[in-house]
């Protein structure tokens, strides 16, 4: 019998199951890793304070509620930032869900602190960065770039809104006020309105605009 031609054939194999990327614990599925780290850091600060005060760690929910309340009072009396208390309480609610319904006193005191704290809107960029970027734009004769950053800083605009200022509608309202009409912004989408307005009263910016 003539020999049959033996053709090389592909080796059959069973593909190994693909391992999916390691997921975080389900308790942290709805928050970012950065938020989790902030919560953990704030909670650890509470634990450090508790240890320094000689307070017991093996406590029931009532004692924990009292300790958290005293910790918040400690932060408040020492003029510490409000977000430290917010992150601490949020951490216990999110990462220690059994505590959620048992820290009413601490939550009430945090609300009191929040009510007496004057809210200050954060600057979109640090003033030193604004000065450096504006100077850079002027040196390179990129006036639109420099003006956008300057006006964006004055109007407390977010990063993307600063970059999109070239499509903003500018309306003069007399010699001392200019109104920017910003479309498709985060705030407009949240409020389901077509645009947001920002008022600029800086004489130098108005003169340039």
> What SS3 state is found at 27?
helix
Long-range CB contacts (< 8 A, 24+ apart) of 182-186? 182/157, 185/158, 185/161, 186/158, 186/160, 186/161
Q: Which residues contact 185 (CB under 8 A, 6 or more apart)?
A: 158, 161, 195, 196
Cα–Cα distance for residue pair 75/70, rounded to 1 Å: 9
pLDDT digits (tens, 9 = 90+) for 173-206: 877 888 888 877 767 776 778 888 888 888 877 7
CB atoms within 10 A of CB 101: 9
135 CA to centre of own chain: 28
The conformation of residue 28, written as its DSSP 8-state character, comes to G
Least confident of 13-27, 44-58, 113-127, 135-149: 13-27
pLDDT digits (tens, 9 = 90+) for 43-77: 999 999 999 999 988 889 999 999 999 999 999 99
Signed CA dihedral, 134, 136, 139, 145: sign only: negative
Contact 182, 188 (CB under 8 A): yes
Domain ranges of the chain: 26-115, 127-208
Contact 158, 149 (CB under 8 A): no
For the chain, what is the mean pLDDT? 82
Q: Is the pLDDT of residue 7 over 60?
A: no
- DSSP readout, 46-107? HHHHHHHTT--SS--HHHHHHHHHHHHHHHHHTT--HHHHHHHHHHHHHHSGGGGGG-HHHH
């Amino acid at each position: 019998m003539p020999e049959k031609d033996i053709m090389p054939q592909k080796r059959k194999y069973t593909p190994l199951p693909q391992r999916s990327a390691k997921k975080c614990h389900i308790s942290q599925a709805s928050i970012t890793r950065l938020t989790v780290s902030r919560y953990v850091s704030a909670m650890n600060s509470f634990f450090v304070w508790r240890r320094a005060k000689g307070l017991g760690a093996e406590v029931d929910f009532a004692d924990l509620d009292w300790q958290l309340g005293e910790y918040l009072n400690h932060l408040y009396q020492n003029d510490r930032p409000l977000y430290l208390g917010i992150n601490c309480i949020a951490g216990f609610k999110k990462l220690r869900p059994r505590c959620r319904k048992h820290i009413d006193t601490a939550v009430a005191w945090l609300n009191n602190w929040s009510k007496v704290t004057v809210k200050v809107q954060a600057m979109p960029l640090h003033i030193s960065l604004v000065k450096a970027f504006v100077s850079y734009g002027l040196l390179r004769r990129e006036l639109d770039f420099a003006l956008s950053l300057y006006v964006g800083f004055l109007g407390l605009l977010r990063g993307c809104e600063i970059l999109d200022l070239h499509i903003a509608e500018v309306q003069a309202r007399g010699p001392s006020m200019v109104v920017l009409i910003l479309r498709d912004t985060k705030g407009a989408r949240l409020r389901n309105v077509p645009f947001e307005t920002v008022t600029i009263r800086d004489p130098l910016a108005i003169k340039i605009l």
